Amino acid sequence: MIINVCDNPDVLSVLRLVKIVVTIIRIIVPIILIVSLSINYLNAVHNNDSDALHKANKGAVIKVIATILVFLLPTFVKLIMNIASYNSTNYTACMDYATEEGIKNARISQANNLIDQFKNTLTRNDYNNAINYVNKIKDGTEKRELEEELNNYKKYVEIQELINTLKIKPNKNDRKKLSQLIDNLSDDDPYKEKFTNLLKELGLGVPLDVPEGYQEFYWGNLKYYIHFPKDATTNMPLLLWLHGDNFIELWAKNTRISSYSYEAGYPTIVLLPFVGPGMGTETKGWYEGGLLPTVKELTDYVIEKYECDKDNINIGGHSRGAIGTWMMVSQYPNFFHAASPISCCSFYGMKPENYKGVKVWAFRGSNAGIGSNNDNIYGGCMQSDVNAVKPYAKEVRYTILPNTTHGDATNHLSDNKEWYEFMFGD
């Protein structure tokens, strides 16, 4: 078995050159000997010089012995190495293997080793090392096969690089690109499962087979919508959004938070239960106990179905939906990550101590109402709720939007990147 340095095609190339030089010497030395002896004898005979003839005979013996030693030197070296049984470097095998075919085979073997290493790491550096070795192989079937094998695996390099980048610094663009690259792999590609599992381990999510935009469903007799952002994946945040008194479905479906979360760099799945006329629930269900348990069951179902990030479940709502927001956090402690009630306060069963660890950012418009409506419901009640949860919540903000009406307060969130970071960031 050829081992150690004898596996190196560059070493074999040097040994092959040595063999060529030795062969040339073994051919040239006898020729030089014959020419030299011929000249000496011709001179001695031509000059009829007995002393010169004697010297020529004596020199011939020495030159013949030297030539024989030069000719047999490789044989002596092989014999000595075999007797010594020096296994760390089998000189005889190396010399025998140092042929054009042997060098080619060694280069192919080394290329295969480097390709195997590349398959294990999928790094660009290992790919370059492998392709450089393949390029040293002379054109032939073996080279084309190795090039084809490398090209089949080269597509994984970018995926692995993106995974390594996301390990250090997750970001929306790389996550989107990575999801697309993995999704483009065929279902029978063994590396697709490998990369999918890596994403799960990293908590980056794997692509969801869902269309972008709002999809309509029913939970019993409760209609609800789910908005999926572009390139939706598992392990995304979830926003439970509770609408206000307006029963127009178009208003509920066009809540712009869902679309803008993606543009702001915090892609989020939005769950929007819809309470409409003729469903026996009307608007009281948000805060008088009628629908909140059902909404919680629905939220749990969506979290499990789409494998949402359970540490990033959020809630928000407008007007009567803000009442439901305050109450949901009160009734289900240790469930929500952040809450954003807009344009109203709580009325029933408020439990400030259940806001422990929750981030709260409440909003209202400066022109939300007039007279006692503005002073009591908005100015007094919302401020009272904010003050009540401050000792317990992780962080509390209260913003009065200037020149903003009751109904328009929610729309101001669509271009507020700070709000998305507050709600869905750490």
pLDDT at 334 over 60: yes
pLDDT one-digit tens code per residue, 116-126: 999 888 899 99
Is 253 in the same domain as 196? Answer: no
Query: Total structural domains in the chain?
Result: 3
User: Is residue 107 in some structural domain?
Assistant: no
Is 192 in the same domain as 219? Answer: no
Is 81 in the same domain as 132? Answer: no
User: Is residue 109 in some structural domain?
Assistant: no
Is 172 in the same domain as 67? Answer: no
Question: Using the 8-state DSSP alphabet, how is residue 375 labeled?
Answer: I
- With CA atoms as reference, report the closest residue to 299 among 290, 310, 288: 310
More confident call, 291 vs 289: 291
SS3 416: coil
Is 236 in the same domain as 331? Answer: yes
What pLDDT is recorded for position 9?
Answer: 62
User: Is residue 295 in some structural domain?
Assistant: yes
pLDDT one-digit tens code per residue, 236-284: 999 999 888 765 555 555 566 777 787 777 889 999 998 765 444 454 5
SS3 368: coil
What pLDDT is recorded for position 311?
Answer: 93
User: Is residue 119 in some structural domain?
Assistant: no
Instruction: Look at strands 359-367 and 338-342 and give their pairing.
Output: parallel
Q: Are 183 and 207 in contact (CB under 8 A)?
A: yes
pLDDT one-digit tens code per residue, 43-88: 766 666 666 666 766 666 776 776 677 666 666 656 655 555 444 4
Average pLDDT over residues 108-133: 88
From 168, 202, 236, give the residue that closes a domain: 202
Is 220 in the same domain as 147? Answer: no
Question: Using the 8-state DSSP alphabet, how is residue 343 labeled?
Answer: S
Q: Which residues contact 400 (CB under 8 A, 6 or more apart)?
A: 363, 364, 365, 366
pLDDT one-digit tens code per residue, 381-421: 888 899 999 999 999 999 988 888 887 888 777 778 899 99
Query: What span, in angstroms and rounded, lies between the C-alpha atoms of 194 and 201?
Result: 11
Is 139 in the same domain as 59? Answer: no
Query: For position 385, which CATH number holds?
Result: 3.40.50.1820
From 202, 227, 252, give the residue that closes a domain: 202
- Whole-number average pLDDT of the chain: 78
Query: What span, in angstroms and rounded, lies between the C-alpha atoms of 397 and 176?
Result: 32
Residue 92 zone, left/alpha/beta (φ > 0; ψ -120 to 50; rest): alpha
pLDDT one-digit tens code per residue, 77-88: 566 555 554 444
User: Is residue 150 in some structural domain?
Assistant: yes
From 98, 133, 163, give the residue that closes a domain: 98
pLDDT one-digit tens code per residue, 292-321: 888 999 999 999 999 999 999 999 988 888
Is 147 in the same domain as 166? Answer: yes
Structure tokens belonging to residue 379: 């100015």
Structure tokens belonging to residue 120: 């294990």
Query: What span, in angstroms and rounded, lies between the C-alpha atoms of 424 and 408?
Result: 22
User: Is residue 232 in some structural domain?
Assistant: yes
Is 163 in the same domain as 231? Answer: no
More confident call, 196 vs 329: 329
What pLDDT is recorded for position 320?
Answer: 82
Is 298 in the same domain as 408? Answer: yes
Is 221 in the same domain as 282? Answer: yes
Using pLDDT thresholds of 50, 70 and 90, give the confidence band for residue 422. very high
User: Is residue 105 in some structural domain?
Assistant: no
Beta bridge partner(s), residue 239? 270, 314
* Full residue range of the structural domain in which residue 374 is found: 213-424
Is 35 in the same domain as 79? Answer: yes
Query: What span, in angstroms and rounded, lies between the C-alpha atoms of 356 and 330?
Result: 10
User: Is residue 114 in some structural domain?
Assistant: no
Structure tokens belonging to residue 423: 């709600």
